[in-house]
Amino acid sequence: MCGIVGYTGPREAYPVLIKGLKRLEYRGYDSSGVALLSDGDLNVYKKKGKVAELEESVLGKDLSGTIGIGHTRWATHGEPSDRNAHPHYSQSGRLAMIHNGIIENYAQLKQDLLVKGYSFKSDTDTEVLLNFIEDIRSNNNCSLEEALRIALKRIVGAYCILLISDDDPDTILAARKGSPLVIGIGKGEHFLASDASPIIEYTKEVVYVNDYQIAVVRPDELILKNLGNERETPFITKLDMELAAIEKGGYEHFMLKEIYEQPDTIFDCLRGRLLTQSGQIMMGGIENNLNAFINAPRIIIVACGTSWHAGLVAEYLIEDLCRIPVEVEYASEFRYRNPVINQGDLIIAISQSGETADTLVALESAREKGAFIFGVVNAVGSSIARLSHAGAYTHSGPEIGVASTKAFTGQLAVLMMMALKIGHAKGTLDEARYLRLMNDLATVPEKVKEILQDTANIKRIAEKYKDASDFLFLGRGYNFPVALEGALKLKEISYIHAEGYPAAEMKHGPIALVDEKLPVVFVATRDSYYEKIVSNVQEIKARKGKVICVATMGDEIIPGMADDVMFVPDADEVIAPLLSVVPLQLLSYYAGLAKGYDVDKPRNLAKSVTVE
């Protein structure tokens, strides 16, 4: 969850580190810090709060040094505080380390070190690991690299660590397991980070470090080794990313920018794949493995959070258009449930970051049991992309806002194309409907642009209901997962308690909550469930609930019943989620804004969940 950054080369390290931390702050923002090495002096500065507070606290301090490491934290062990912020010193003060992940056996290691006379200044597992490394080096009279290697064989858990020592003024030691690490290659310099956003300004040549690898990084040298001390050849990748993609570009917040980018990001996802003139869908990951999909006795979709909601839409899509049984699983439960996986089963993993810890472990287990893994991810070169047998990128570009918006619609676009292609190839989707849905999908970017042309009404609705303590979101069919996503967004951004349900289920309990104070949001676009949704709206109005509807433009019935309406263009119900979710994204954004919250960095959340 945390953000890490490192630099070694001819530049002053501090400006590189602080700019990198600002770009990584979406990964964690309860504290931050830097360690700088200059002329044998190892200086650590850290502060509770956001990176801006760290910047203010180091004014007038010695920030010299051409090698350094920086960290922005999402707390796991120990409450957010100055003393629990990273980097941490070793007991001797000669080593400094930053860490993303959780060391599960830290308690026993800590007890052993306490017996040996070590003391600790923080509550973190990171400080325990650092002193464990120092203890190994001291007792074995070995190099720091060898001590790190020995320590990593003893610990249990996930980690990405950067380590510097006052007796090696050019070298950063790095290692990863389960938490991402990318190394940028410059001319006589190297950059290290949790993702490419701090690196893109300096170089487009990067190396993605694999699990169980140790990197020895110097200004003019990059050595990769495995835990057996065998050298491995770095694979250099070119970044397909522009600096403008990770900057606000005139928008007040990244979340708003990313909502407004969706006409372009959906178009980029469809481009070169959805070929309406020839009636073809070209997706290499599907094309090369078409028989695996056509003959799959069952598809299991594994995801977390917003990606899980995309998976629920895919369940409707695949069962409707392809007639293949689908199960949608929370990765965190799937990995521990000892699920039954048979030969031929196909796993679709959905993840924006491609680094989600629970999803990764679930996939490793499924792959060992013989399942075919197909990844739907946004981040090129990510762990899930590399673990999968095949996959499809969403091409949504960097998503900096913690609450997922454009990544969700990118996932939906990919999943819709997949279902159309498989259903057509399998013969369960007839030619006429296939072509009609293709053409409808191709119009989505323009229709999203139409929704975004005038958002004043949505802003008004958000401000009207911002003081509500609870919300209920209801939908049917393809729009039920959209209701779940709308509720999640509102919770994440405005901190208003919200629940999503299938509209028909409200009579089985949730309707007891309805009174004149409860806003109820219906995703009520014109589809095969429309008459049922109208009845559900009437049931809420009869109990004096406040009704907000997402409705199809031109609808004359819903506006006469609802207190407030947000309109979307007409679309087939298969395609509708790509449109009906956009007003709900804006509703949550404007509600959070009206309440004065930081919508890009909602409390307690981080962008990429790389720990359990």
Q: What is the pLDDT of residues 243-287, one digit of tens each?
A: 666 677 788 998 999 999 999 999 999 999 999 999 999 999 999
Q: What is the pLDDT of residues 489-506, one digit of tens each?
A: 999 999 999 999 998 887
Task: Supply the pTM of this predicted model.
Answer: 0.81
Q: How far is CA 572 from CA 156, 426, 552, in A?
A: 50, 21, 11
Q: 277 CB contacts (<8 Å, ≥6 apart)?
A: none
Q: Residues 569, 541: contact at Cβ < 8 Å?
A: no
Domain boundary among 416, 442, 468: 442
Q: 6 CB contacts (<8 Å, ≥6 apart)?
A: 17, 68, 69, 70, 162, 172, 174, 191, 192, 193, 217
Judge if 472 and 374 occupy the same domain.
no
Question: Backbone phi, then psi, for 106, in 5-degree steps?
Answer: -65, -30
The predicted structure's pLDDT at residue 384: 84
606: pLDDT strictly greater than 70 = no
Among 390, 388, 406, residue whose Cα is nearest residue 398? 406
Q: How far apart are CA 25 and CA 116, in angstroms?
A: 37
Judge if 421 and 486 occupy the same domain.
no
DSSP state of 570: -
Judge if 177 and 213 occupy the same domain.
yes
Among 487, 610, 601, 22, residue whose Cα is nearest residue 255? 601
Domain-located, residue 310:
yes
Q: Which pair of tokens denotes residue 139?
A: 């007792």
372: pLDDT strictly greater than 80 = yes
Judge if 317 and 334 occupy the same domain.
yes
The predicted structure's pLDDT at residue 68: 96
Q: Residues 352, 307: contact at Cβ < 8 Å?
A: yes
Q: Which pair of tokens denotes residue 551?
A: 């409705």
Active site residues: 2, 607
Tell me the pLDDT band of 336, cut-offs 50, 70 and 90: confident
Domain-located, residue 447:
no
Q: Are strands 390-393 and 546-552 parallel, antiparallel or unpaired?
A: unpaired
Question: Backbone phi, then psi, for 298, in 5-degree steps?
Answer: -160, 145
Domain-located, residue 448:
no
Q: How far apart are CA 429 and CA 238, in angstroms?
A: 39
Q: What is the pLDDT of residues 560-577, one digit of tens each?
A: 999 999 999 999 999 999
Q: How far apart are CA 254 and CA 261, in angstroms?
A: 10
CATH assignment of the domain containing 458: 3.40.50.10490
Q: How far apart are CA 2 and CA 22, in angstroms?
A: 12
Judge if 210 and 76 occupy the same domain.
yes
386: pLDDT strictly greater than 60 = yes
358: pLDDT strictly greater than 80 = no
Domain-located, residue 213:
yes
Question: Backbone phi, then psi, for 448, in 5-degree steps?
Answer: -65, -40
Q: How far apart are CA 263 and CA 271, in angstroms?
A: 12
Instruction: Quote the domain boundaries for residue 319.
Output: 248-442
**Helix, coil or strand: residue 572:** coil
End-to-end CA distance of the chain: 10
Judge if 181 and 295 occupy the same domain.
no
The residue to which tokens 């858990």 are assigned: 157
Q: How far apart are CA 170 and CA 157, in angstroms?
A: 29
Q: Which pair of tokens denotes residue 250?
A: 């005139």
Domain boundary among 374, 407, 442: 442
Among 322, 266, 272, 278, residue whose Cα is nearest residue 299? 322
Domain-located, residue 326:
yes
* C-alpha count within 13 angstroms, C-beta hemisphere, residue 514: 23
Total number of residues shown for the chain: 612
Q: Which pair of tokens denotes residue 267?
A: 């178009």
Judge if 31 and 177 occupy the same domain.
yes
Judge if 525 and 424 occupy the same domain.
no
